[in-house]
Amino acid sequence: MKNIVDLSIDFAGIRLSNPVFTASGTCGYADELGEFMDIDKLGGFITKSISVKPRKGNATPRMVETDSGMLNAIGLANIGLDRFIEEKIPVLAKMKAAVFVNVAGTTIDDYIEVTEKLAGENAIAGFELNISCPNVKEGGISFGTDPVQVADITAKVKKAAGDKKLIVKLTPTVTNISETALAAVENGADALSLVNTFTAMVIDIETRKPVLANRTGGLSGPAIKPMAVYLVNKVYNEVTKNTDVPILGLGGIRNAGDAIEFMIAGATAVSVGTASFFEPRSCERIVKGIEKFCQAKNISAVRELTGSIE
């Protein structure tokens, strides 16, 4: 007889049925993924970035595959706040998973506007502040590399979020990620999400042009996993260990083993991005795989894994 494993976690005060989230921008608004797996099996769902106005996104090509990874330069294409509220909120309201809206903008006021307008929605548990997108000219990553700006935007958006939770999503392309992490935590972040993509470029040697129309893109997928695990562990040790701020770990996770590795490194929950593209059932399988692992190892609650690195 198999022992029962408690897969639930407490994530910044919210109880989730399990620690597996979708990653922003990689699962649309849930409808498409729903054709392949039961989305009620998710612990959390993070939407594509939402900005005040609709964004077309960047010109094509927006994607190129690299060794064990891919670059994207979607450019935060999204339907904009108004259509999001009208069309997507009703769908998201039906989800069992905790829904977090990923917020993007080019000015701090943009971020505040989106957050304020959505802060009253019952459908959502909170926000993920995207200050780490490498694929837009203004805003995005520029807010995320400087601890002073991280502090400022976190504090302001936290206020706008009312009693909703605020996850701050950090960029890995900084000299010392603990500085930006600390700035976020000290200014009201309820959770940290790390990491976003790494800036990168592929050049077509025949045409001598960058393959992406945007020239550069963000690297994601298994290629980045060992760097992401390191950064999660670093922030856990240096910033969050003795706080109640959980880390949402992501970057290259494609199976339960990867997810468990992030949790051992210090993540309370994990997000799956690129892996859903080639295996749309990834999230569901990872939840099952974590459960099996815990059974085999006699771990009674998945939360025991968090930060259990020796």
Partner 1 sequence: MTRPFLFSVWNRIMCDDGSKKGIFEAKVNSNRCIGEGFYRVNLGFCGDGARLFAGFIPGQFVEIDLSGAPLPAMDKIPEKLRDASGRSIILRRPFSLADVEVCGDVVNIEILYCCVGPASLRMMELKEGNVVSVIGPLGNGFDIDKNKKVALLAVGGMGAGPLQHLARELAKIPGMEVVAFAGAQSVDRLPFEKPFGDFSARPTLCLNEFSKSATKSIVATDDGSAGFKGFVTGAMESWLDSCKAEMKDIIIYCCGPEMMLATMAEIAEKRGIDCQVSMERRMACGIGLCQSCAVECRKKGTDETFYKMCCKDGPVFDSREVVYTL
The catalytic site residues sit at: 133
Closest approach of partner 1 to the CB of residue 309, in Å = 18
289 lies in the binding site for a second copy (CB under 8 A): no
* Residues in binding contact with partner 1, number by CB under 8 A: 42
36 interface partner picked from ligand FMN, a second copy, partner 1, none, CB below 5 to 8 A per type: partner 1
Closest approach of ligand FMN to the CB of residue 6, in Å = 25
3 lies in the binding site for partner 1 (CB under 8 A): no
In the set 14, 181, 253, 302, which binds ligand FMN (CB under 6 A)?
A: 253
Question: How far apart are alpha carbons 95 and 101 in whole angstroms?
Answer: 13
Q: Tokens standing for 6?
A: 């408690």
Question: How far apart are alpha carbons 81 and 52 in whole angstroms?
Answer: 5
Give, as one character, the DSSP assignment of residue 242: T
Q: Tokens standing for 209?
A: 């042009």
Question: How far apart are alpha carbons 78 and 52 in whole angstroms?
Answer: 10
216-241 burial, b at 16+ Cβ within 10 Å, e below that, comes to: ebbbbbbbbbeebbebbbbbbeebbe
Closest approach of ligand FMN to the CB of residue 71, in Å = 8
188 lies in the binding site for partner 1 (CB under 8 A): no
The continuous run of DSSP H or E covering 69 comes out as: strand 69-72
Q: Which residue, 130 or 214, is less far from ligand FMN as judged by CB?
A: 130
144 lies in the binding site for ligand FMN (CB under 6 A): no
71 lies in the binding site for a second copy (CB under 8 A): yes
Q: Which residue, 196 or 214, is less far from ligand FMN as judged by CB?
A: 196
64 lies in the binding site for partner 1 (CB under 8 A): yes
260 lies in the binding site for a second copy (CB under 8 A): yes
Give, as one character, the DSSP assignment of residue 78: B
In the set 74, 153, 265, 287, which binds a second copy (CB under 8 A)?
A: 265
Burial class, 296, CB count within 10 angstroms (exposed 0-12 / middle 13-18 / buried 19+): exposed
53: region left, alpha or beta (phi > 0 left; psi from -120 to 50 alpha): beta
Q: Let me know: does 18 contact 72? Beta carbons within 8 Å.
A: no
190 lies in the binding site for a second copy (CB under 8 A): no
Listed ranges 66-74, 124-132, 169-177, 178-186: which one lies at the site for partner 1 (CB under 8 A)? 66-74
Q: Let me know: does 273 contact 224? Beta carbons within 8 Å.
A: no
169 lies in the binding site for ligand FMN (CB under 6 A): yes
Which candidate, 94, 137, 91, 85, places its Cα nearest to that of 113? 85
Q: Which residue, 155 or 201, is less far from a second copy as judged by CB?
A: 201
The continuous run of DSSP H or E covering 278 comes out as: helix 275-278
Give, as one character, the DSSP assignment of residue 48: P
32 lies in the binding site for partner 1 (CB under 8 A): yes
180: region left, alpha or beta (phi > 0 left; psi from -120 to 50 alpha): alpha
Our CA dihedral for 24, 44, 119, 240, rounded to 10 degrees, sits at -90
130 lies in the binding site for ligand FMN (CB under 6 A): yes
60 interface partner picked from a second copy, partner 1, ligand FMN, none, CB below 5 to 8 A per type: partner 1
- Contacts with ligand FMN, residue ranges (CB under 6 A): 23-26, 48-49, 72, 74, 76, 102, 130, 133, 169, 196-197, 220-221, 224, 250-253, 272-275
- Contacts with a second copy, residue ranges (CB under 8 A): 66-69, 71, 145, 173-176, 198-203, 205, 207-210, 216, 219, 222-227, 229-230, 233, 252, 257, 260-261, 264-265, 293, 308-310
